[in-house]
């Protein structure tokens, strides 16, 4: 049973990476590219172990960085940070019965990634259409939060779910 869950988790991570670098950028629901990997990594970190979340974060972040033409390292850095923070929050004994912690973390991750991408354009952008930026951020955040809620039961079933406490960071 343990092996089946591990294989299931591996499949979810690999599929999430594939969907993140191919399907979502082509589909662009509501004109934005939501981040599926961010909720997946955060949820693995919060519901399972930080080391597994870190491996998923490094692999997923590197794949997205390779698919992206700009800001190399942004996604690897962001997902590693998300995995570490999730592990620390779990270790600190945050209540994990609801999705609130994951939703807050995904919101923070979305704010951070948007800020880095837009700051990268500070020197070259000829205009800053506030309506477009606000609308894009809003829909991206909404979709990321929906993905978090949708993925939570899947990840909860697949992670090994060690007791909250000293072991949780690992």
Q: Which residues bind other proteins (CB under 8 A)?
A: 17-28, 31-33, 50-51, 54-55, 57-58, 61-70, 72-73, 76-77, 80, 84, 87, 113-114, 117-118, 121, 124-129, 132-133, 136, 140, 162, 166-167, 169-170
Q: How far is the CB of 92 from other proteins (least distance, A)?
A: 16
DSSP state letters, 69-126: SS-TTHHHHHHHHHHHHHHHHHHTT---SSSHHHHHHHHHHHHHHHHHHHHTTTTT-S
28 CB-near residues (< 8 Å, 6+ apart): none
Q: Is the separation of the CB atoms in 72 and 88 below 8 Å?
A: no
56 CB-near residues (< 8 Å, 6+ apart): 13, 37, 40, 41, 44, 79, 83
Closer CB to other proteins, 99 or 168, in the complex: 168
Closer CB to other proteins, 26 or 97, in the complex: 26
Q: How far is the CB of 70 from other proteins (least distance, A)?
A: 5
Q: How far is the CB of 129 from other proteins (least distance, A)?
A: 5
Q: Is the separation of the CB atoms in 50 and 167 below 8 Å?
A: no
Closer CB to other proteins, 30 or 100, in the complex: 30
Closer CB to other proteins, 12 or 99, in the complex: 12
Q: How far is the CB of 44 from other proteins (least distance, A)?
A: 12
């Amino acid at each position: 049973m343990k092996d089946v869950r591990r294989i299931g988790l591996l499949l979810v991570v690999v599929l999430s990476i594939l969907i993140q670098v191919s399907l979502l950028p082509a589909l662009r629901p509501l004109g934005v590219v939501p981040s599926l990997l961010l909720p997946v990594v955060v949820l693995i970190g919060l519901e399972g172990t930080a080391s597994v979340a870190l491996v998923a974060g490094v692999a997923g972040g590197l794949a997205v960085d390779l698919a992206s033409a700009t800001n190399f390292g942004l996604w690897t850095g962001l997902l590693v940070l998300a995995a570490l923070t999730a592990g620390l929050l779990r270790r600190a004994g945050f209540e994990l019965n609801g999705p609130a912690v994951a939703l807050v973390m995904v919101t923070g991750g979305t704010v951070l990634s948007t800020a880095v991408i837009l700051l990268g354009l500070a020197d070259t952008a000829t205009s800053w259409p506030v309506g477009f930026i606000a609308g894009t951020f809003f829909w991206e955040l909404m979709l990321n939060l929906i993905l978090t809620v949708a993925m939570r039961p899947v990840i909860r079933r697949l992670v090994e779910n060690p007791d909250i406490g000293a072991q949780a960071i690992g």
